[in-house]
Chains A and B, each alone.
Chain A
Amino acid sequence: MTDVERLFRTYNAALVRYLTRRLGDRDWAEEVAQETFVRALRQTSIENERAWLFAVATNLVRDEARKDMRRRKHLALLAEEEKDSVSEPHETTLERAQEAAMARKAIDALAERDRLALLMREEGLDYNEIAEALELSPGSVGTTLSRARRRLVESYESLQKSREEREKNAAS
C-alpha cells in the first residue's frame, strides 16, 4: 500500500465528514478532500499527517471563500424552503431536514476559527493537531472549543425555541 493509499484509507472518511459539516455539501466536500490528498502526493514528508490534511483542506476551503458565500446563500434558500414546508406529511424526513437547517445556521453563526476547531475535534484531532492545523497555541484550543460548543448549542437551542414558538402560533 502506498503512502497516499494509506492516508486516504485512514483519513478520508473523517476529512469528508469534516468538510461536509463545514461546507454543507457532500460532493463539494469530497472534491476538496480529493484535492487535499492530491496535494499530499506532492509532499515528500508530512510530520503530522492528520493535522496537515485538515489544515490543507481548511485552506482549500478558505481559498474558495467566494464560492462558499455563493453556496451558503443557496443553502440558506434551501433552509428557508425547508422551513416553509412545515405542513408536509413526511414528518421524520422533515424533522431531520429542519434539524440540519438549524444546525447549519448555528454552525455558520460561529467564528471561523471556533467552527473549524470544533469540526476538527469532532473528527478526532487532538489539541496539538488542531493547534497545528489552525496555527493556534495548544493552550488556547480548550478555550476555543469550549466557546465554540457553548455558542453552537445556545444558538441551536435558540433556533429550536423560535421554531417551537412559530409552530405553536401556527397551531393556535
Chain B
Amino acid sequence: MQHPDEGMIHSWLDGALSAEEAARVDSHVSECASCAATVAEARGFIAASSRILTALDNVPRGVLPAVPAKRRDFRVAWRAAAAMLIVAGGSLVVMREGGQDKRVAATDETTVSSAVAHKPLAVPAAVAPSVDAAGDGINASAGNAAAASAPTPAPAVPPVVAQRRAESVEQRDMSARSDLGRGTQSAGGVVGSPMVAAEATAPTERRVQTSEAAPGSDAAPLKVVRVERSIGARRTIYEIAPSATVTLTETDASQLSSVVTTGAAAATTFGAQGRTAPRGARTAAPTSAEAAKAPPPPPPPSAVMDSKSAADSAVVGTMSKTSAARSQAGTAFTATNTITWTEPKTGKTLTLSGNVSVERLQEIRKRIEKERASSGAQVP
C-alpha cells in the first residue's frame, strides 16, 4: 500500500474510513515506521487541538458589548437611587422649612388670636369705660384704661384673659381662624387688628415708651404738602418726617366700614420703638410661647381707638399669611401700609396710606381726625 496521506491518517484516526480502508491503513502503519511517526504526530495534533479548543471554552459570559450595557444599567440604577435620595432630602428640607414658616405664620396668627380672644373679655373690664370717655382723646382714654385695669405700668391682666390667651396659643392657627371668623360676625364686638396683637403682647417697657412718644408726636401740626383732587376723591399728602409722607384719600363711597391692614408690620412691631429701631423691634417680637408666658400689658391706646371705631361700625382686622411672611422677611417697614375707615360725621371713606407702620398711620389718623374735627371737616 502506498503511504497514506495525512488526511487519510486523520480520517482513519477519526474512524471516518470504511472498514476496508481502515484495515489497509492499520496494516500499513504497523509496518511503516515513518507512517507510524506520522500517525503519532496526528494523534498529538488531534489531542492538542482538542485541548486548545477546550481553552476557548474559558470565555466569561458577556465579554462582548452586552457587558457594558449591563454595567450602564447598574450605573443608571445607582444614579436613580442617588437622585431619589437627593429629591427626598430636598423635600425633607423644604418640608421642614415650610413647617417653620408655617409655625411662624401660626405664631403671628396666634398672636392675633390671643388678642382677639381676650379682647371681648378685657374690654368690659378695662377698655369699655374709656370708650365712654373717648371724647377726651386717645391719650386720655389710654390713661383711663391703664388706670382702670391696674395702677402700675405693667398691670396684670385678669386671670380669665391670661387663661383664654393660653388656650388660644395652644389652639394655634385653628383658633386664630375661628376667632377671627367670630370676631367678624360679632355685631358691635371689638376685634383686634394685628397691630393690637403686637401691642398687647409687647413688653411693658416698650409700652411705656410708646405712650410717652405719642403726646410728643401729637404736638406738631401735620404739614400738608399738597392736595390733589379728582372726581369723587380728594387726596391730601402730609409730610410726617423730612423724607416721609402719607396720603389721605377721601372718597364718597360710604358703607365701607372696615379697617384693612396690609403689610404686617403691626404684628411684630411696637409703636414708636418699632419705627426708630425696626430690626430690634422685629427680633424682639414675642413668640407665641412668650406671648403665653409674658405678663400681659394693659390695653394700648390703639386698642382703645379701635374700640372707638367699633362703636361707629364693625371693624375687621385681617392679616394675611403672605403679609406675615413678608413681615418675617424684614420688609415690613418698606411696605406701604394702608388703613381705611369711615368718618361718621360725613360718611366719607378715608384711606390713609404711607410707608410707615400701621401704628404710625393710626396716630396720624388720630391727628387728622382731630384737625378735621377742629376745622369743621372741610370737605370740598
Residues of A within 8 A of B (CB): 17, 20-21, 24-28, 71, 74-75, 78, 96-97, 99-100, 102-104, 106-107, 118-119, 121-122, 126-127, 140-150, 152-153, 156
Contact = CB atoms under 8 A, between A and B. Distances in A.
A127 B14 CA distance: 9
Give the interface SS of chain A, mostly helix, strand, loop or mixed. Answer: helix
B64 A100 contact: no
Contact of B45 (A99, A100, A126, A153): A153
Contact of A99 (B9, B11, B44, B55): B55
A149 B53 CA distance: 10
Contacts of A106: 52
Given A99-B58, A141-B16, A148-B49, 5 more contacts: A20-B57, A74-B65, A75-B63, A142-B11, A145-B14
Nearest to A71: B64
11 contacts: A20-B57, A21-B53, A27-B66, A97-B58, A119-B53, A127-B16, A143-B6, A146-B10, A149-B45, A152-B53, A153-B44
Interface in B49-102: 49-50, 52-53, 55-66
B59 A100 contact: yes
A143 B5 contact: yes
- Most chain A C-beta atoms within 10 Å of own C-beta, residue among B6, B50, B59: B59
- Most chain A C-beta atoms within 10 Å of own C-beta, residue among B9, B44, B48, B62: B48
B49 A149 contact: yes
B59 A24 contact: yes
A119 B53 CA distance: 8
Given A17-B57, A24-B59, A28-B64, A146 B49 contact: no
B7 A143 contact: yes
Contacts of B147: none
B49 A71 contact: no
A152 B56 contact: no
A25 B58 contact: no
A146 B45 contact: yes
